[in-house]
Chains A and B, each alone.
Chain A
Amino acid sequence: MTEQKGYQERMHLLQKEMMNRYYDDLTRVAEGGPGKSAYMLVSGNPVELVRAFDFLPVYPEVNALQIAVKKQALPFILKAEEMGYSMDNCAYVKADIGCFFSGRKTPFGTIPLPDLLLCNYVGCNVYLQWFEHLSEYNPAPVFNLDIPFVRTEDGEPRPEDVTYVVRQLEDLVEMCERITGKALDYAKLQRIVALSGETGELWSKIKALTKRRPSPFDAYFDSVTMMAPLYCTRGTEECLRFFEAAYEELLKKAEDGVGPLPEERFRVVIEGPPPWPFLRTFRDMFSKWGAVAVASTYSTVGGLWEFGFRHDANRPLESIARHMLQWNLTNRNFLQRYEQIKRYMDDWSADALIIHSVKSCRLFSAGQGDMREYFSKDLGVPTLLVESDLEDPRYFSEAQMRNRVDAFFESLAHKRAVAGKAS
């Protein structure tokens, strides 16, 4: 079963154009054009604040994944390993650092040097290492924006966490003012935050569409198409227009009863980042069985909007703080992730859970065996765990993975057939 013809056209074209423009901007700055760049991280990113100072946000993670998609990652990874990085370090970091020391040239553009290294430490501890290293290699000012992890029973950040983050954001504002020589334009920040609020609303509506049968798009493989604009351009008119167009297109599909596959046989939730170097191959393994992702945790790393969070222009810094503290996957604890997945299973009516365990990203993967235990044993959800990597092509063994996926869906199909006969 392959995707429906014409299925991906408009939204994907728009996305391509936008991302091309984004990388053209980056290249222009890299080549000495006007503008300043702020390196930052995807998880719970405070892009609104850097945009208020007209920084171009540069995400080493997004660059690393694009490099992987273009199958260019290995030489960079090897270069980093020659420098002393380990086989067992996150390969996003290695691809980025290898690329950094290779002239920052990629097939999609040149990455500018940073004018600001903003380590938004939202969950992932590797972030701290990564930017600590970048700061050893770069003279740019560096800021650790420390986001206390969600660690209390009620799953809410504590009042002092919010205060702590807001104060740091104020310090960051000062640093941005020094670097750019401009005072913060508060009204502009509010406008940007308002645009993020509206974008979040649309993204959330888009995500609700996959509750329908058939799901109008794949909430894992097609969500990634929308994630890059969401992080790289959020807070701009252009981004809002993109999400309006995407919503319109996907709503129409939902109303016409059109899904990504000719027939939706299984609805799955996918947990974990994708294997970027083999995205197509991986997707086909599921398409073949008529399996469509109706929800995914990966699409919530940068922000979790589907449960109601919206940026609030009346309290811009506080709402940026809340977004970073609470409304993204990475700063929530592992058991909250179980809850999130459970909610997807129930509210999005899924048949099975697929866990893609990646070696690089221990934030995601460490302990996923326990997650499998919980879903398959405690909740009786059919659960499949497969392992590879998000960046390093050396960890993808196609035949083995295909066998596991086939066996899993064969057994699901069999169970369904038996249940069908019985009823």
Chain B
Amino acid sequence: KAIDMTPSITEILERCRQLLATPVGEVAAAQKAKNPDRKIVGCFPVYTPVELIHAAGALPLGVIGGGNQIEIAHADSRFQSFICSIVKSTLELGLTDRLEAVDAMVFQSICDPARNLASVFKRNFPRLQIEYLHMPQNMSLRANDYLVAEYQRIFDSWKALTGKPATEQDLAQSIGLFDRDRALMRDLYRLRCETPEKVSAAESYLLMRAGTLMPVEEHIELLEAALPGLQQRAAKPKDRIRVVLEGSFCEQPSLELIDRLEEAGCYLVDDDFLLGWRFFKREVSAGDSPLRALADAYIDRSVYSGVKHDLRESKAKHLTDKVREMRAEAVIILVAKFCEPALFDYALYRKALDEAGIPHLFLEFEEKMWVFDRVRTEVETFVESMLFE
């Protein structure tokens, strides 16, 4: 009888935990050591068409701030006190030579600070290839043609970086891989929503975040191994309220914070962590024209968020619909301090949630947060107020 080599879910989670505890620059360096010829493209949130990077033969790597691992000592003289932390911590990674193994960075038009950050990167790190992607905000047919051209431009630029003459077939294959990866992530979220006792939000986050730090092929394997393990877990549902979490689509809260939120008495049955890495509601499906398929997917099947302004439907309605679909009882709006898009959204969300009679709690976080007592108390009070209603 063959020995079962499939790692246990505990082992998989432990591997992810270690990966997450490793500074992103070291992850990049390790990837470089494994594969010295492969270029690495750092992806600033929210969404990057990673398929283009993959097809060009490079590794897309999530450069999602410095988390709670670094001290901001230089970047705060470049970006003011009223700018969110991820902008500063990402710059700090560069200013302290922690991105040595990264060859390029890509930013998109998510907000004004991130946009200016792309320029500051360009000036300070001439070694890096810097790309800036303007994602369309007029969600009409006009945008498709534009976006196809924009993707072609950036694809060419990444091909120039790697020197690989990637073809449409290569791109179709990459889309297939990421479609598979995203489908697995959707499965993970479905599992969480249906049986939140089997997988905590923090565990789901670990599994997701790991995907931003490894080749997609490995991540597919990882999720394929993890999902059955999670499904088989025997866990009894606890007496917790079901909550949708919204507002953390860019800068990420620490794992500890995610854990504390749940421990304070709720199941997070959905969230918008790492949203860009699972950006589509359905498959992209390369079809005959992969570049166009990718562009179309952005226009007609990407999820809503604070950095996309699709006027065809009200953003607040998306949230209240989601609450219903997920059979959630409440919403936690968890916003990175100074994150202007998320802060603006809150005003709309609050109104809609009040009108729909859905209880909600607003919390702000910072990447570097060590004390969680206050958050915990607030969530506990919130949960109690609901349980005693």
Tell me the A residues contacting B by CB distance below 8 Å: 80, 83-86, 88-90, 93, 121, 123-126, 128-129, 132-133, 135-136, 142-146, 148-149, 151-152, 158, 160-161, 163-164, 167-168, 171, 333-335, 338, 357, 359, 362-363, 365-370, 373-374, 387
Cβ of A151 and Cβ of B132 under 8 Å apart? yes
Cβ of A362 and Cβ of B343 under 8 Å apart? no
- Whole-angstrom CA separation of A206 from B138 in the bound complex: 36
Q: Could you list 30 examples of A-B contacts with CB < 8 Å?
A: A83-B347, A83-B351, A88-B338, A88-B340, A90-B340, A93-B344, A121-B137, A125-B112, A129-B340, A129-B341, A136-B314, A136-B348, A142-B311, A148-B136, A149-B115, A160-B149, A163-B145, A167-B142, A168-B138, A171-B142, A333-B119, A334-B119, A362-B83, A365-B82, A366-B87, A366-B112, A366-B113, A369-B77, A369-B79, A370-B79
Cβ of A366 to closest chain B Cβ, rounded Å: 4
Cβ of B115 and Cβ of A368 under 8 Å apart? no
- A contact residues around B145 at 8 Å (CB): 160, 163-164
- A contact residues around B122 at 8 Å (CB): 335
Cβ of A89 and Cβ of B80 under 8 Å apart? no
Cβ of B116 and Cβ of A367 under 8 Å apart? yes
Cβ of B311 and Cβ of A362 under 8 Å apart? no
Interface string of B116-141 (1 = CB under 8 A from A): 11111011100000011110111110
Report which of A85, A123, A129, A367 forms a contact with B309, defined as CB distance below 8 A.
Answer: A129
Asked if B146 is at the interface of the complex by the 8 Å CB criterion, the answer is: yes
Cβ of B146 and Cβ of A164 under 8 Å apart? yes
Q: Which of B48-96 contact A (CB under 8 A)?
A: 76-80, 82-83, 87
Report which of B76, B117, B343 forms a contact with A366, defined as CB distance below 8 A.
Answer: B117
Report which of B76, B120, B311 forms a contact with A334, defined as CB distance below 8 A.
Answer: B120
Cβ of A102 to closest chain B Cβ, rounded Å: 16
Asked if B170 is at the interface of the complex by the 8 Å CB criterion, the answer is: no
Cβ of A128 and Cβ of B347 under 8 Å apart? no
- A contact residues around B351 at 8 Å (CB): 83-84, 136
- A contact residues around B87 at 8 Å (CB): 366
Cβ of B371 to closest chain A Cβ, rounded Å: 21
- Whole-angstrom CA separation of A149 from B137 in the bound complex: 12
Cβ of A125 and Cβ of B78 under 8 Å apart? no
Please, which residue of chain A has its CB at the minimum distance from the CB of B314?
A: A136
- B contact residues around A357 at 8 Å (CB): 80
Cβ of A100 to closest chain B Cβ, rounded Å: 13
Report which of A89, A125, A144 forms a contact with B138, defined as CB distance below 8 A.
Answer: A144
Report which of A142, A148, A365, A367 forms a contact with B119, defined as CB distance below 8 A.
Answer: A367
Cβ of B109 and Cβ of A367 under 8 Å apart? no
Tell me the B residues contacting A by CB distance below 8 Å: 76-80, 82-83, 87, 109-113, 115-120, 122-124, 131-134, 136-140, 142-143, 145-146, 149-150, 153, 307, 309, 311, 314-316, 337-338, 340-341, 343-348, 350-351
Sorted nearest first, the 7 A-B pairs with minimum C-beta distance are A334-B119, A160-B149, A146-B138, A366-B113, A164-B146, A367-B116, A84-B347
Report which of B76, B109, B315, B345 forms a contact with A125, defined as CB distance below 8 A.
Answer: B109
Cβ of A149 and Cβ of B132 under 8 Å apart? yes
- Whole-angstrom CA separation of A152 from B150 in the bound complex: 11
Cβ of B46 to closest chain A Cβ, rounded Å: 12
In the complex with contacts A125-B112, A164-B142, A370-B124 CB distance below 8 A: yes
Report which of B123, B307, B340, B350 forms a contact with A89, defined as CB distance below 8 A.
Answer: B340
In the complex with contacts A149-B109, A164-B146, A365-B80, A132-B123 CB distance below 8 A: no
- B contact residues around A148 at 8 Å (CB): 134, 136, 146, 150
In the complex with contacts A149-B115, A160-B145, A373-B77, A359-B311 CB distance below 8 A: no
In the complex with contacts A125-B110, A161-B146, A366-B112, A133-B138 CB distance below 8 A: no
Please, which residue of chain B has its CB at the minimum distance from the CB of A161?
A: B146
- Whole-angstrom CA separation of A135 from B133 in the bound complex: 26
Report which of A86, A136, A146, A167 forms a contact with B343, defined as CB distance below 8 A.
Answer: A86
**Which has the most chain A C-beta neighbours within 10 Å: B76, B87, B112?**
B112
- Whole-angstrom CA separation of A142 from B173 in the bound complex: 39
Cβ of A163 to closest chain B Cβ, rounded Å: 8
In the complex with contacts A84-B350, A136-B316, A158-B149, A125-B115 CB distance below 8 A: yes
Cβ of B311 and Cβ of A135 under 8 Å apart? yes
Cβ of B349 to closest chain A Cβ, rounded Å: 8
Cβ of A146 and Cβ of B119 under 8 Å apart? no
Please, which residue of chain B has its CB at the minimum distance from the CB of A130?
A: B344
Cβ of B178 to closest chain A Cβ, rounded Å: 24
- Whole-angstrom CA separation of A164 from B120 in the bound complex: 28
Cβ of A367 and Cβ of B132 under 8 Å apart? no
Cβ of B346 and Cβ of A84 under 8 Å apart? yes
Cβ of A366 and Cβ of B146 under 8 Å apart? no
In the complex with contacts A126-B340, A151-B134, A334-B116, A369-B150 CB distance below 8 A: no
Cβ of A370 and Cβ of B142 under 8 Å apart? no
- Whole-angstrom CA separation of A15 from B195 in the bound complex: 67
- Whole-angstrom CA separation of A74 from B117 in the bound complex: 31
- B contact residues around A335 at 8 Å (CB): 119, 122-123
In the complex with contacts A133-B344, A146-B143, A367-B113 CB distance below 8 A: yes
Report which of B117, B150, B340, B345 forms a contact with A367, defined as CB distance below 8 A.
Answer: B117
- A contact residues around B307 at 8 Å (CB): 125
- B contact residues around A83 at 8 Å (CB): 347, 350-351
- A contact residues around B110 at 8 Å (CB): 125
Cβ of A374 and Cβ of B340 under 8 Å apart? no
- B contact residues around A128 at 8 Å (CB): 137, 309
- Whole-angstrom CA separation of A148 from B109 in the bound complex: 9
Cβ of A142 to closest chain B Cβ, rounded Å: 6
Report which of B137, B149, B344 forms a contact with A126, defined as CB distance below 8 A.
Answer: B344
- Whole-angstrom CA separation of A93 from B343 in the bound complex: 12
- B contact residues around A365 at 8 Å (CB): 80, 82
- B contact residues around A132 at 8 Å (CB): 309, 311, 315, 348
Report which of A133, A149, A163, A387 forms a contact with B80, defined as CB distance below 8 A.
Answer: A387
- A contact residues around B149 at 8 Å (CB): 158, 160
Given A128-B137, A136-B351, 11 further pairs, Cβ under 8 A? A123-B112, A125-B115, A128-B309, A129-B344, A129-B345, A143-B138, A144-B139, A146-B138, A334-B120, A362-B113, A369-B79
Cβ of B341 and Cβ of A373 under 8 Å apart? no
Please, which residue of chain B has its CB at the minimum distance from the CB of A330?
A: B112
Cβ of A85 and Cβ of B79 under 8 Å apart? no
- Whole-angstrom CA separation of A123 from B343 in the bound complex: 19
- A contact residues around B77 at 8 Å (CB): 369, 373
Cβ of A318 to closest chain B Cβ, rounded Å: 16
Please, which residue of chain B has its CB at the minimum distance from the CB of A369?
A: B78
Please, which residue of chain A has its CB at the minimum distance from the CB of B83?
A: A366
In the complex with contacts A84-B351, A368-B80, A370-B120, A363-B315 CB distance below 8 A: no
- Whole-angstrom CA separation of A136 from B133 in the bound complex: 28
Cβ of A103 to closest chain B Cβ, rounded Å: 19
